[in-house]
Structure 1
Amino acid sequence: MSRAKTTQTPAPRATIRDVASAAKTGKTSVSRYLNGEQHLLSDALKERIERAIALLDYQPSQMARSLKSGETRLIGLIIADITNPYSVEVMRGVEAACRQQGLTLLVCNTNNEFNQEKHYLQLLSSYRVDGIVVNAVGMREDAISSLQQSQLPMVLIDRKVANFSCDVIGLNNAEATTEVTQHLLDQGFEAILFLSEPVTINTRLVRLHTFLKQMQKEPQKFAEQGEVELNDSAGLEKLLLNFTERYPDKRRAVISVNGALTLVIARTMRKIGIVWGKDMGLLGFDDLEWAELAGVGITTLKQPTYDMGYAALGQLVKRIQGSDEPIQEHAFSGELIVRGSTQPI
């Protein structure tokens, strides 16, 4: 004989009226307790309300509170590529600052797709977040339009967007690129290849232009540039081999525009038998954990990404609170971490 299964109906959620009844007071007093106005209540009343909340396991409705106050205490973070260690560190910084401010972070990963960025901007607006930190995908006009239409307090991180007036937190790219280029020149490298993913964002553009400008000061040295997709291993192999063949008697080095590309370059070099620090120099933006363990180690330009994320949230909170100060651009300095890959060859 089978026994029928019974399902237990969950207990109804406690309301503010239930708390008031259990504490033998009115809803106004409970509201004051919940909204930080406890100084208006007697110690005995505060203690009764506190016991009633614990007894009933009362959880205030965040939605109802946000409708009343006009604030959701939600912050949106739009990341271009969450698989990138740079993005992870930025997110850690933003999240830590949110926790300190009593804010909740909603993270959206665009996977470097314009349509996803536009979708998440609209979605976060519909959730009525108080503000957004954006690591923008690029500089297309429709992306700019979406940013402008959101009408939310916003801070851009790492990447500026042309014709869009907004606070920006990022690396001092001109200073950093000047430092890494000069380091290679000082180490005696004569031919330097600047490798980048497609130059569709201003960060890569500034780094490229600064590199070329710095190399123009050394007319006897050779500067080249190349663009490659991260998944185009054949194209990268061709770029590296052609560069080697063009300068067989020169001391050669490669600058990688970011950490994700540095990993791909290191793998490709190993595949085609180029040893960094011996056959060719290698230097990459972003200091990844594995860089010191790869062969003789890879020289990197370390960005204070955690600090940048933390600062971005701080600036956003100012805007949420109504600051009308002029648009801010906070550029952090990087740190050159020298390892064996850029030793004189």
Structure 2
Amino acid sequence: MSKKQEPGAAGRATIRDVASAAKTGKTSVSRYLNGEKHLLSDDLKERIGRAISLLDYQPSQMARSLKSGQTRLVGLILADITNPYSVEVMRGVEAACRQEGLTLLVCNTNNELDQEKHYLQLLSSYRVDGIVVNAVGMREAAISTLQQANLPMVLIDRKVADFACDVIALNNVEATQMMTDHLLQNGFEALLFVTEPATVNTRLDRLRTFLQRMQQSPQCIAEQGEIELSNSQGLETLLRDFVARHPDKHKAVMCVNGALTLQVARAMRRLDMTWGPDIGLSGFDELVWADLAGVGITTFKQPTYDMGVAAIGQLVMRIQGNTEPVKDIEFSGELIARASTAAR
């Protein structure tokens, strides 16, 4: 065989073509393709490999999935693909999928519950082997859709009430305590915790831990403010009023996530507030620009890449039939202190 042979009538090489070119049967080719090469002689393996190369044979993934009962497809549903957190999680998930020989299908819900339900149904129709979900809400109809699909699933970052599932997440209690203690130890006397609407457990856990920790320092002032990301005017009012209420206090703002940290920084600029000299500023999630913004902004770095890798590891275990009780796998992060929260 000095040149590529012509494929079958359909214009694409078939397993029959490979068997003919290698002068063997289809059963031997199937064993070669399905990880049973140890059953074949060295000479036969060489002939089949050469035939596959010459014919440019590509196995039908659909046919193989029908035979094995697995598609080797994995779904990833993200609440907001523009969020740097989501991008890093996706990198970890994709790298782990490549390592496991899985193909990743990525869906972005744009924080819309209807889109989340739609993608759950869509991925189920594609017969994916499992799903990793950064949930928007997944309550009622969406959860019902997933339960009916009966697919292995791992949640990342956010839990879903009354839904038993493995969860990969930051240790939010530990992280919030570290951030709050950092501000208190650096002499801040009035702290404002700013959060988006507390509709997911991550925000609730961080807010609750902040308030509990502040109760241990009654000499300091703890306030909270809930705001939509798009409400720039409301955010300016929240910051302006906080500063006005405590003119003689060393003040700081703690933001519940990276997206809100960006909006707070923009609002401070519009109000001519300078983080560091005028007011402290810190936020969860490390931002690529955090050390370049003014004197730098203190952040809490999550091991998001590693969390994405861990999510696939746990999902693969479930796909393979692991029936251990569901569990929360929590990661520790790193406080990156910058001059925005420096002690006076």
TM-score by structure 2 length? 0.95
Aligned Cα root-mean-square deviation (Å): 1.3
User: Helix, strand or coil for the counterpart of 1:159?
Assistant: coil
How many residue pairs match? The answer is 336
Who is 1:343 aligned against? 342
Who is 1:133 aligned against? 132
CA distance in 2, matches of 1:279, 1:217: 26
Who is 2:107 aligned against? 108
User: Helix, strand or coil for the counterpart of 1:137?
Assistant: coil
Who is 1:58 aligned against? 57
User: Helix, strand or coil for the counterpart of 1:291?
Assistant: coil
Q: Judge conservation of contact 1:192–1:224 (CA < 8 Å) in 2.
A: yes
Who is 1:233 aligned against? 232
| Cα-to-partner distance string for 1:318-344 (whole Å, 9 max, x where unaligned) | 111111111111111111110000012
2:272 matches 1:273: yes
Change (3 A) 1:123 1:139: closer
CA distance in 2, matches of 1:293, 1:338: 13
Q: Judge conservation of contact 2:113–2:138 (CA < 8 Å) in 1.
A: no
Runs of 4+ in structure 1 deviating by more than 6 angstroms, as ranges, are: none
| Cα-to-partner distance string for 1:127-177 (whole Å, 9 max, x where unaligned) | 111111110102633333333233100110000101000000100001111
CA distance in 2, matches of 1:232, 1:130: 40
Change (3 A) 1:59 1:139: closer
Deviation of 1:220 (Å): 1.8
Change (3 A) 1:40 1:107: same
- Partner amino acid for 1:30? V
CA distance in 1, matches of 2:265, 2:143: 35
Structure 1: runs of 5+ lacking an equivalent: 1-9
Q: Summarize the alignment of residues 36-115 of structure 1 with structure 2, pairs less than 5 Å apart.
A: 36-115=35-114
User: Helix, strand or coil for the counterpart of 2:340?
Assistant: helix
CA distance in 2, matches of 1:180, 1:147: 36
- Partner amino acid for 1:332? F
Bigger shift: 210-219 or 142-151?
A: 142-151
CA distance in 1, matches of 2:53, 2:115: 42
| Cα-to-partner distance string for 1:216-274 (whole Å, 9 max, x where unaligned) | 11112111111111111111111111111111111110000011111111111111101
Who is 1:3 aligned against? none
CA distance in 2, matches of 1:150, 1:23: 42
Who is 1:35 aligned against? 34
Who is 1:6 aligned against? none
2:159 matches 1:160: yes
CA distance in 1, matches of 2:138, 2:312: 22
Deviation of 1:105 (Å): 0.8
Who is 2:281 aligned against? 282
Who is 1:199 aligned against? 198
- Partner amino acid for 1:21? S
CA distance in 2, matches of 1:189, 1:43: 73
CA distance in 1, matches of 2:130, 2:152: 5
User: Helix, strand or coil for the counterpart of 1:273?
Assistant: coil
CA distance in 2, matches of 1:108, 1:138: 15
Who is 1:169 aligned against? 168
Q: Judge conservation of contact 1:139–1:201 (CA < 8 Å) in 2.
A: no
Q: Judge conservation of contact 1:19–1:49 (CA < 8 Å) in 2.
A: yes
Deviation of 1:11 (Å): 7.4
2:324 matches 1:325: yes
2:248 matches 1:249: yes
CA distance in 2, matches of 1:75, 1:57: 26
CA distance in 2, matches of 1:163, 1:137: 15
CA distance in 1, matches of 2:138, 2:22: 57
CA distance in 1, matches of 2:297, 2:12: 57
CA distance in 2, matches of 1:302, 1:278: 23
User: Helix, strand or coil for the counterpart of 1:314?
Assistant: helix
Q: Judge conservation of contact 1:157–1:169 (CA < 8 Å) in 2.
A: yes
Q: Judge conservation of contact 2:116–2:138 (CA < 8 Å) in 1.
A: no
Q: Judge conservation of contact 1:254–1:280 (CA < 8 Å) in 2.
A: yes
Structure 2: runs of 5+ lacking an equivalent: 1-8
- Partner amino acid for 2:74? I
Deviation of 1:212 (Å): 0.6
